[in-house]
Amino acid sequence: MDWQALWLTIRLATLVAGLLFVLGLPIAYWIAFSRWRWKFFVEAVVGLPIVLPPTVLGFYLLVALGPRSPLGRVWIALTGHTLAFTFPGLVIGSIIYSLPFAVQPFATAFAAVDSRLLAASAVLGSSRLRTFWRVVLPLSLPGLLTGVGLSFAHTAGEFGVVLMIGGNIPGVTRTVSIDIYDRVQSFDYASASETALALLVFSFIVLVLLYGLNRGWRTGGVRAMYGGR
């Protein structure tokens, strides 16, 4: 068991899930409530990582983060080294890769909030921002949890994108899934199976928690959730 890879994976997934929560809220809000007629273009762009092969996404990210791209040049000017094959590069890649797994559940939850509640809030004098904090967000908790859980689990299990933009640097970019691949390549099936099992159990637990909590919320859980009498 490569504890270093495991720790790196957890750090990466936590950071990405946290950042996606912050970034995903405004994007999801816009998708849920905008009446712009070309909105579906943005939705399609956000959804792309679901259908693109990770190697394709990884390839474009590698080019975008590399020393010849504007972003890559700015990064080099700021830090003195390239963004590709670094942990921050991996974080940026993972955010894009997991974006739909956070944004879509958020947007679905926001859109499901009864529009009359939003109207009531406005009539009672609340700005959109206050309505969002006081009404939309609390009533979207299950969707928020799903989005955060999915983006965490999805990042923890990614392989193609990491391999393309992060390579395989122990302690920097070698995640659990890369570690497994590496061990299989060197015929170390025993430790590959150990790590694979750990990842399997972990993913299963995350999903069980998610579905279990969501089910609880749906079936009279509102009272439990908001601490009724």
Show the binding pattern over residues 89-118: x = contacts other proteins (CB under 8 A), - = does not: -------------------------x-xx-
Nearer to other proteins, 68 or 229 (CB): 229
Among 139, 169, 184, 198, binds other proteins (CB under 8 A): 139
Asked if residue 129 binds other proteins (CB under 8 A), the reply is: no
CB of residue 113 vs other proteins: minimum separation in angstroms?
A: 10
Given a contact cutoff of 8 angstroms between Cβ atoms, the answer to whether 132 and 83 are in contact is no
Least distance from other proteins to the Cβ atom of residue 194, Å: 44
Nearer to other proteins, 70 or 228 (CB): 228
Residue from 82, 108, 126, 168 touching other proteins (CB under 8 A): that is: 126
134, 126 contact by CB (below 8 A): yes
Assess contact for 30 and 139: CB atoms under 8 A: no
Nearest alpha carbon to residue 106 among 152, 139, 134: 139
Kindly tell me which of 74 and 120 has the beta carbon lying closer to other proteins.
Answer: 120
Residue 81 per-residue DSSP state: S
Q: Tell me how far apart the terminal alpha carbons of the chain are, to the nearest angstrom.
A: 47
Binding mask 167-206 for other proteins (x = CB under 8 A): ----------------------------------------
Q: Among 2, 31, 1, 35, which residue's Cα sits nearest to residue 168?
A: 2
- The CA-atom distances, in angstroms, between 134 and each of 43, 117, 164 are 26, 11, 42
One of 22, 77, 78, 124 touching other proteins (CB under 8 A): 124
Give the Cα separation of 215 and 166 in Å (integer): 37
CB burial of residue 181 (10 Å; 0-12, 13-18, 19+): middle
> Least separation, in Å, of the C-beta of 108 and other proteins?
18
Rounded Cα distance between 129 and 113, Å, is: 15
By the rule CB under 8 A, 226 interacts with other proteins:
yes
Q: Min. distance of Cβ 125 from other proteins in angstroms? A: 5
Determine if 125 is a binding residue for other proteins (CB under 8 A). Answer: yes
For residues 151 and 145, give the distance between their C-alpha atoms in angstroms, rounded to a whole number: 10
Number of residues that bind other proteins (CB under 8 A): 21
- Enumerate binding residues for other proteins (CB under 8 A): 114, 116-117, 119-127, 134-135, 138-139, 222-223, 226, 228-229
